[in-house]
């Protein structure tokens, strides 16, 4: 065979082979891109765009039923491609109760269900501690630490993530104003506490608690160091000021934001100093790191209010919007974007912080007294008493509902509890999956789930624990 002809044939084979490889790579990349974008081949061999469900549970390994159908491969924690539209997801596991929710899958998007909790059916209550004359109890954000206030100046601190619990005494005598000598004294003089705890706020790492206390109609603020009470501080006494509201600014609780006479200041706890006025005539405020969002009275217009943004250490204030009524505000980060939520009477709105684009607005059937951002900024909670409005950032949906009883709290980072007729009732953050867990429960104190192992609640002065996993 002619050598030139042989070379031409070999070159042609190489070109054809490389062309086929390029086409195959392009087809593979295209298919993967379509799959990532939500396109899938359905049972009728037609291409349709779908969404992705990512689902986990506590405990893991629960059976997943989608629209009533199940497969031995479908166990939490997993991901599942689903057609767009409504689907009913049900979870079950031997020895546990069931969990169910109807969700709406959007084509090309990921929907995360990470909060479902199944409760062990056969649980045995055990009394782990007895406390006398409890008047208030507060639990840390991770629900693993508990501070108990009683009628004396000696409070109790417990770490709940230990199987064997011990109580540490916190001597609050030098930090409390409204105390007095008890009528009957023994050799270890006991001081009585006459104030009323109005609220408590923990820092994110659970090392400090900020208390507001009603002392004969005067509000007093105390920052408690739970690990070393000697580092605590009575903020009102230290600065000789009446503060209307205070929030913790950083994890170390070294810096606080405080409103005095309507003006917002920063307090340096370790340096025992207070800044000049950051914002005047503040109605409400919130912060994300050093960024502060606030609503304030507008001096330039009569009977007008505005939404503003500033930063700690920055003298500039940006006016973002105006209101005709005093408004409540919140700022938070969800995934990679920062958002601002506002509540003007019953009008609820959400804006992107970057360009102040309004992404959601709705009128509620009631006017909530508060607005708060939930765990990991996944939901916004607004309420007045037992009436609740929940905005789900994952589903971008608003839901109104009511708890049993007159008030509610958080039993973990995703579930709400209420106590009605001495029954402990839990709900998902949106009101779904209502379940009664215990009876003979004291309604004055919190319930909490710790380490996904234990459920704690109070029966009068007794702290009760139930195991949530088989022992």
CATH number at residue 87: 2.60.40
Give the Cα separation of 64 and 41 in Å (integer): 22
Instruction: Give the pLDDT of residue 185.
Output: 46
Does some domain include residue 420? no
Does some domain include residue 17? no
Does some domain include residue 43? yes
Instruction: Give the pLDDT of residue 376.
Output: 86
Give the Cα separation of 381 and 386 in Å (integer): 12
Cβ atoms of residues 83 and 140 within 8 Å: no
Say which residue the tokens 């002619």 belong to. Answer: 2
**Residue (of 294, 206, 195, 296) closest to 248 by Cα position:** 206
Handedness of CA 319, 323, 326, 329 (dihedral sign): negative
Q: Residue 414 CB: number of other CB atoms within 10 A?
A: 20
Query: Above 90 in pLDDT, residue 303?
Result: no
Does some domain include residue 341? no
DSSP 174: T
Does some domain include residue 122? no
**Range of the structural domain that residue 59 is part of:** 39-113
Handedness of CA 311, 355, 288, 262 (dihedral sign): positive
Confidence of residue 2 (pLDDT cuts 50, 70, 90): low
Instruction: Give the pLDDT of residue 467.
Output: 97
Handedness of CA 370, 285, 270, 241 (dihedral sign): negative
Tens of pLDDT, residues 270-284: 999 999 999 999 999
Instruction: Give the pLDDT of residue 187.
Output: 41
Instruction: Identify the three-state secondary structure at position 97.
Output: coil
The per-residue pLDDT of the chain, averaged, comes to: 89
Tens of pLDDT, residues 182-232: 655 454 457 888 889 999 999 998 999 999 999 887 899 999 999 899 999
Give the Cα separation of 430 and 432 in Å (integer): 6
Q: Residue 357 CB: number of other CB atoms within 10 A?
A: 9
Query: Above 50 in pLDDT, residue 152?
Result: yes
Q: What is the pTM of this model?
A: 0.87
Strand ranges for 5-144 from DSSP E: 39-41, 47-55, 63-66, 69-75, 78-83, 85-92, 99-105, 110-113, 126-130, 134-139
Does some domain include residue 93? yes
The arithmetic mean of pLDDT across residues 356-382, rounded, is 95
**Residue (of 420, 352, 395) closest to 115 by Cα position:** 395
347-356: long-range contacts at Cβ-Cβ below 8 A with a sequence spacing of 24 or more?
Answer: 348/382, 348/389, 348/391, 348/398, 350/380, 350/391, 351/320, 351/321, 353/291, 353/309, 356/320, 356/321
Angle, alpha carbons 121-416-80 (nearest 5°): 70
Does some domain include residue 8? no
Tens of pLDDT, residues 38-95: 555 555 555 556 889 999 999 999 999 999 988 656 888 888 888 889 999 999 999 9
Cβ atoms of residues 353 and 340 within 8 Å: yes
Query: Above 50 in pLDDT, residue 112?
Result: yes
Does some domain include residue 2? no
Structurally, the chain folds into a number of domains equal to 1
């Amino acid at each position: 065979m002619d050598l030139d002809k042989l070379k031409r044939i070999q070159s042609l084979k190489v070109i054809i082979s490389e062309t086929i490889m390029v086409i195959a790579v392009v087809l593979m990349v295209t298919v993967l891109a379509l799959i990532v974008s939500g396109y899938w081949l359905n049972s009728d061999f037609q291409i349709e765009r779908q969404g992705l469900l990512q689902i986990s549970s506590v405990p893991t390994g629960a059976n997943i039923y989608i629209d009533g159908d199940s497969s031995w491969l479908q166990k939490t924690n997993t991901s599942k491609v689903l057609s767009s539209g409504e689907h009913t997801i049900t979870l079950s596991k031997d020895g546990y109760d069931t969990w169910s929710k109807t969700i709406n899958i959007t084509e090309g998007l990921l929907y995360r269900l990470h909060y479902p909790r199944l409760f062990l059916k056969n649980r045995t209550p055990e009394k782990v501690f007895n406390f006398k004359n409890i008047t208030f109890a507060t639990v840390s954000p991770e629900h693993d630490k508990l501070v108990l206030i009683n009628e004396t100046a000696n409070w109790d601190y417990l770490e709940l993530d230990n199987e064997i619990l011990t109580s540490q005494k916190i001597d609050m005598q030098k930090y409390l104003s409204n105390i007095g000598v008890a009528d009957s004294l023994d050799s270890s003089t006991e001081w009585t506490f006459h104030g009323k705890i109005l609220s408590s706020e923990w820092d994110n790492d659970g090392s400090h608690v900020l208390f507001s206390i009603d002392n004969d109609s005067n509000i007093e603020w105390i920052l408690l160091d739970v690990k070393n009470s000697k580092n605590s501080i009575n903020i009102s006494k230290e600065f000789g000021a009446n503060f209307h509201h205070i929030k913790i600014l950083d994890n170390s609780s070294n810096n606080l934001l405080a409103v005095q006479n309507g003006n917002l200041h920063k307090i340096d706890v370790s340096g025992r100093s207070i800044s000049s006025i950051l914002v005047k005539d503040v109605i409400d405020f919130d912060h994300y790191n050093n960024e502060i969002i606030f609503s304030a009275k507008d001096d330039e217009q009569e009977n007008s209010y505005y939404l503003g943004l500033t930063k700690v250490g920055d003298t500039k204030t940006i006016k973002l919007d105006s209101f005709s009524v005093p408004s409540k505000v919140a700022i938070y980060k969800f995934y990679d974007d920062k958002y601002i939520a506002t509540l003007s009477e019953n009008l609820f709105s959400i804006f992107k912080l970057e360009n102040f684009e309004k992404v959601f607005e709705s009128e509620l059937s009631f006017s909530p007294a508060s607005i708060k951002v939930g765990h990991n900024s996944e939901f916004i909670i607004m309420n007045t008493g037992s009436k609740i409005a929940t905005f789900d950032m994952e589903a971008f949906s608003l839901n109104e509902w009511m708890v049993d009883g007159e008030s509610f709290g958080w039993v973990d980072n995703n579930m709400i509890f209420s106590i009605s007729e001495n029954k402990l009732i839990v709900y998902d953050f949106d009101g779904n999956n209502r379940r009664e867990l215990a009876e003979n429960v004291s309604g004055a104190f919190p319930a909490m789930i710790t380490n996904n192992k234990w459920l704690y609640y109070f029966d009068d002065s007794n702290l009760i624990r139930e195991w949530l996993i088989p022992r």
